[in-house]
Amino acid sequence: MTTDTLNPPITDTDALIADMGVRARTAAKRLAVATTTEKAAALRAAAQQLRGEAPAILAANAHDMDAGRANGLSAAMLDRLRLDTARLNGIADAVEAVAALPDPVGAEIDRSTRPNGIELARVRVPLGVIGIIYESRPNVTADAAALGLMSSNAVILRGGSEAIHSNRAIHAALVAGLAESGLPTDAIQLVPTQDRAAVGALLRAQGLIDIIIPRGGKGLVARVQDEARVPVLAHLDGICHTYIDGAADAEIAVALAVNAKMRRTGICGATETILIDRAYQGPRAIIDALITAGCEVRGDKAIAAVSPHVTLADASDWDSEYLDAIVSIAQVDGIDGALAHIDRHSSRHTDAIVTEDRVIAGRFLAEVDSAIVMHNASTQFADGGEFGLGAEIGIATGRLHARGPVALEGLTTYKWLVRGTGQVRP
Amino acid sequence: MTTDTLNPPITDTDALIADMGVRARTAAKRLAVATTTEKAAALRAAAQQLRGEAPAILAANAHDMDAGRANGLSAAMLDRLRLDTARLNGIADAVEAVAALPDPVGAEIDRSTRPNGIELARVRVPLGVIGIIYESRPNVTADAAALGLMSSNAVILRGGSEAIHSNRAIHAALVAGLAESGLPTDAIQLVPTQDRAAVGALLRAQGLIDIIIPRGGKGLVARVQDEARVPVLAHLDGICHTYIDGAADAEIAVALAVNAKMRRTGICGATETILIDRAYQGPRAIIDALITAGCEVRGDKAIAAVSPHVTLADASDWDSEYLDAIVSIAQVDGIDGALAHIDRHSSRHTDAIVTEDRVIAGRFLAEVDSAIVMHNASTQFADGGEFGLGAEIGIATGRLHARGPVALEGLTTYKWLVRGTGQVRP
């Protein structure tokens, strides 16, 4: 495939994105009044297409994998990029799972009747047009499109160039599903060019795109947050803490420390720093269990004195998201020391306390200002699926609109319905 | 008073705002754990101070009024600026009313238990630090501070230079109330300089200020929306429509058209354009009633043909927020014509339908994509007080976070509380 096919000649990227935005808006108007049945049928048709087009999708993916190897992509990136029959079935299953979720659109948030007889109701309506900017993982193409469609939003997808053929093949299957169902095919659009200017155009598309959701590494998210004029729903870092209080159960403390750090080290909910109360009696068991599990432990002086296998942390460790089998451990003075450390270093994603003291736990839950705060649970549970949301489009650490795992509800806004019988305002 | 007092020498406006932001954040942490009783007591003490300091506040206001007259402020602006004993009592009453509202902080949005026994709850927490940028009306100083405090947010207030002495006197009374109550006085800060660079610094204060709420004319809101890097909650225009359907009750139609347009012409919920269904039998009665009420009527050709008192509208009329006793009236082809006109010209603030046909009304409520959509009610009801919210900090027409009238709930976000008994993620 030539560069010309990757980047069809587009005289003006802004004009391309503007055109896509206008078409998305038109599709969004139709989606806003689509029934749950229509949307679910479209998603099931899309899933069918994904299964039926498996040979074409896997061939496209093989093309991307070849190019990736030729371009020297890391093993981790190649693994994120790779599709096989099982993974593709998983993608189709996920689309069907979204089709089975409760429709957020039209749900009533609250209702009241005013003394003058006017009836008020707040009902959920779609956000409108969502821009998704992502990297390598081709499953995001289907996941984001499914969540967007089920919440009656049109989506404009912009995947990474390393996955372009996979994304195009998946997109074609999704659009074929839409076409079968009678919903507008512009509801799911894929930016046709890999020109990086297209990302800039999306980020500046105020009025055309209602929200941008970046999915990918820190570099991508930072660029999006920095350049966007359209509102962004995202998290930049996942510097999550697990605090082992003096009143923690020793067995639970070891199990949670190891799981929170080591279950999967590459996810944003993985614990990066463990704080151990000076009063806690068993720090050595925690350190040993982590080391046994294959984790490198970097500690402050007090922790380094506990075990010869601990290396001394430097200042940057407390602000590091390792996303790897490395943990930093600090000794703190009780709940106040833990709160102070977390307030200073947390990325306000997920922070947990391990304690049997309910009062101390209550203070932690009340005073830690993070999207998710946990008591006696692994920070690895920070996930929309684990929270029962059915799926998630991402985790947000901003303070506006939606916080923590964002799923269908987070892709809606609301409007006020006011029903009168001719009331005039005095 | 000299210019030096209005603008104390500040070497670096950004540093000033940064310092205020840091102090606000510290205060916000204390407010986040303040009890409802503490906050209500602080607001009642502030209201007492406003009453007790009435002579000083009215003297400061007289100073602003003198300067305003000398500077040639319009009669409307002088009226917005003017305080007297009754108005000041009204301001104190409003602060006490906010103290009596239900505390939004800590309220549980939802709760669930997962199959693994983990308990989840979403609870409301404050946004953090709110910047309010406003013009002329000194009551905003107290209103915004009260709503901010009751929702446990610290506020940084930046009022107009024409009201600077009034605002300082009101601010001093509020702070005296806080000091009595033991809550941090940095919870309510007033930007001490009228240097316009301070507004720019507020708008760029990402990380220091969580949200900016502009209160004032279109020029102010447009500047804020254009320059802000901090999220903004606002509405730029209130181009509201009242659509008189063919199946409207004639008496209700006349009453609503006149009230929606003429009750108060200067508010954002005032109807600016009336759409009349071609099938509606009594357009003349509506036009006559408006003219009798003192309204200038600008119509399209069909409407101009109905009455000699109608002048012909030009294209700009359909996008004009008159905020005056002027209305534009267009004839449309039924509900579809009305929806098309509104889709093209509405500022998505408030739009209403007048009809006795429930099916048509249902379509209008479902398909008009505005913050507030009404059936058989005056658009002048678009107000937080009328909606039972107790007070409002403003009306938002954006799609994210909060839409329509924004009161205490809109000044909060939420966090996820996760309570386990040692669960690890498989």
Give this complex's ipTM.
0.94
- Within a domain: A107: yes
Alpha helices in A82-196 (DSSP H): 85-99, 139-150, 164-181
Region A270-292: mean pLDDT is 97
Burial class, B220, CB count within 10 angstroms (exposed 0-12 / middle 13-18 / buried 19+): middle
- Within a domain: B198: yes
* Pairwise pLDDT comparison (B254 vs A207), residue with the higher score: B254
**Residue B154 and residue B303 in one domain:** no
Q: Is B403 in contact with A414 (Cβ distance < 8 A)?
A: yes
Which region among A103-112, A217-226, B273-282 has the lowest average model confidence (pLDDT)?
Answer: A217-226
Q: Is A381 in contact with B118 (Cβ distance < 8 A)?
A: yes
Cβ atoms of A210 and A20 within 8 Å: the answer is no
- The answer, yes or no, to whether residue A9 has pLDDT greater than 70, is no
Region B150-165: mean pLDDT is 96
> Which helix (H) or strand (E) segment is B396 a member of?
strand B394-396
> Measured between alpha carbons, how far is B158 from B140 in angstroms, rounded to an integer?
10
- The answer, yes or no, to whether residue B390 has pLDDT greater than 90, is no
- Give chain A's domain count: 2
- Within a domain: A6: no
What is residue A3's predicted lDDT score, i.e. its pLDDT?
Answer: 42
What is residue B317's predicted lDDT score, i.e. its pLDDT?
Answer: 98
What is residue A153's predicted lDDT score, i.e. its pLDDT?
Answer: 98
> Measured between alpha carbons, how far is A368 from B125 in angstroms, rounded to an integer?
11
> Measured between alpha carbons, how far is B190 from B132 in angstroms, rounded to an integer?
10
CA dist list (Å): B131 to B61, B81, B206, B231: 23, 21, 11, 10
> Measured between alpha carbons, how far is B126 from A403 in angstroms, rounded to an integer?
12
**Residue B197 and residue B62 in one domain:** yes
Average pLDDT of the residues of chain B: 95
User: What are the pLDDT digits (tens) for A154-184?
Assistant: 999 999 999 999 999 999 999 999 999 999 9
DSSP one-letter string for B135-195: -S-THHHHHHHHHHHHTT-EEEEE--GGGHHHHHHHHHHHHHHHHHHTS-GGGEEE-----
- Within a domain: B398: no
Band of residue A1 on the pLDDT scale cut at 50, 70, 90: very low
> Measured between alpha carbons, how far is A365 from A376 in angstroms, rounded to an integer?
11
**Residue A172 and residue A71 in one domain:** yes
- The answer, yes or no, to whether residue B2 has pLDDT greater than 50, is no
Total length of chain B: 426
> Measured between alpha carbons, how far is A304 from A298 in angstroms, rounded to an integer?
8
- Within a domain: A1: no
Cβ atoms of A201 and A13 within 8 Å: the answer is yes
Share of chain A above pLDDT 70, in %: 97
- In sequence order, the β-bridge partners of residue B64 are none
- The answer, yes or no, to whether residue A231 has pLDDT greater than 80, is yes
Q: Looking at the complex, does the CB of residue A231 fall below 8 Å from at least one CB of chain B?
A: yes
- The answer, yes or no, to whether residue B185 has pLDDT greater than 70, is yes
User: Can you give the residue range of the structural domain that contains B142?
Assistant: 11-233+406-417
Which region among A239-253, B6-20, B77-91, B287-301 has the lowest average model confidence (pLDDT)?
Answer: B6-20
Residue the block writes with tokens 């997920």: A350
- The answer, yes or no, to whether residue B7 has pLDDT greater than 60, is no
**Residue B171 and residue B293 in one domain:** no
What is residue B236's predicted lDDT score, i.e. its pLDDT?
Answer: 86
pTM of model > 0.95: no
* CA-closest candidate to residue B416, choices A387, A213, A388: A387
Sheet holding B296-299, edge to edge: A108-113, A119-126, A412-423, B372-377, B350-354, B240-244, B271-277, B326-332, B296-299, B311-312
CB-facing half-sphere around the CA of B43: CA atoms within 13 A: 31
- The answer, yes or no, to whether residue B145 has pLDDT greater than 70, is yes
Structure tokens that stand for A88 in this block: 């593709």
Residue the block writes with tokens 């980047």: A7
User: What are the pLDDT digits (tens) for B199-225?
Assistant: 999 999 998 999 999 998 889 999 999
Average pLDDT of the residues of chain A: 95
Taking CB atoms and an 8 Å cut-off, how many pairs form between chains A and B? 191
User: What are the pLDDT digits (tens) for A318-350?
Assistant: 999 999 999 999 999 999 999 999 999 999 999
Q: Looking at the complex, does the CB of residue A250 fall below 8 Å from at least one CB of chain B?
A: no
- Within a domain: A317: yes
User: What are the pLDDT digits (tens) for B337-347?
Assistant: 999 999 999 99
Nearest to B114 among A369, A388, A417 (CB): A388
Interface of A with B in 121-150 (CB under 8 A): 125, 127-128
* Residue B426 to chain A, least CA–CA distance (Å): 8
Structure tokens that stand for B187 in this block: 């919870």
What is residue B9's predicted lDDT score, i.e. its pLDDT?
Answer: 55
> Measured between alpha carbons, how far is B16 from A363 in angstroms, rounded to an integer?
33
- Within a domain: A70: yes
What is residue B1's predicted lDDT score, i.e. its pLDDT?
Answer: 37
Q: Three-state SS across B79-112?
A: HHHCCCHHHHHHHHHHHHHHHCCCCCCCCEEEEE
CB-facing half-sphere around the CA of A350: CA atoms within 13 A: 28
- The answer, yes or no, to whether residue B10 has pLDDT greater than 70, is no
Q: Looking at the complex, does the CB of residue A369 fall below 8 Å from at least one CB of chain B?
A: yes
Q: Which residues contact A196 (CB under 8 A, 6 or more apart)?
A: none
- Within a domain: B392: no
User: What are the pLDDT digits (tens) for B113-123?
Assistant: 999 999 999 99
**Residue A227 and residue A246 in one domain:** no
**Residue B257 and residue B206 in one domain:** no
* Residues of A whose CB is below 8 A from B340: none
What is residue B8's predicted lDDT score, i.e. its pLDDT?
Answer: 56
Three-state DSSP at B280 gives: coil
**Residue A209 and residue A309 in one domain:** no
What is the phi/psi pair of residue A331, to 5°? -85, 135
**Residue A215 and residue A258 in one domain:** no
**Residue A217 and residue A256 in one domain:** no
Q: Is A211 in contact with B400 (Cβ distance < 8 A)?
A: yes
**Residue B221 and residue B249 in one domain:** no
Q: Is A422 in contact with B377 (Cβ distance < 8 A)?
A: yes
For residue A357, the domain's CATH number is 3.40.309.10
Interface of A with B in 268-297 (CB under 8 A): none
For residue A182, the domain's CATH number is 3.40.605.10
- The answer, yes or no, to whether residue A402 has pLDDT greater than 50, is yes
- The answer, yes or no, to whether residue A37 has pLDDT greater than 60, is yes
Beta strands in A140-278 (DSSP E): 154-158, 188-190, 211-215, 240-244, 271-277
User: What are the pLDDT digits (tens) for B30-66?
Assistant: 999 999 999 999 999 999 999 999 999 999 999 999 9
> Measured between alpha carbons, how far is A53 from A42 in angstroms, rounded to an integer?
16
What is residue B76's predicted lDDT score, i.e. its pLDDT?
Answer: 86
CA dist list (Å): B169 to B51, B148, B314: 12, 19, 47
**Residue A249 and residue A228 in one domain:** no
> Measured between alpha carbons, how far is A134 from A263 in angstroms, rounded to an integer?
24
* Residue B188 to chain A, least CA–CA distance (Å): 20
**Residue A195 and residue A66 in one domain:** yes
- AA identity, residue B284: R
Q: Is A127 in contact with B400 (Cβ distance < 8 A)?
A: yes
Q: Looking at the complex, does the CB of residue B424 fall below 8 Å from at least one CB of chain A?
A: yes
* Residue B252 to chain A, least CA–CA distance (Å): 5
- The answer, yes or no, to whether residue A7 has pLDDT greater than 80, is no
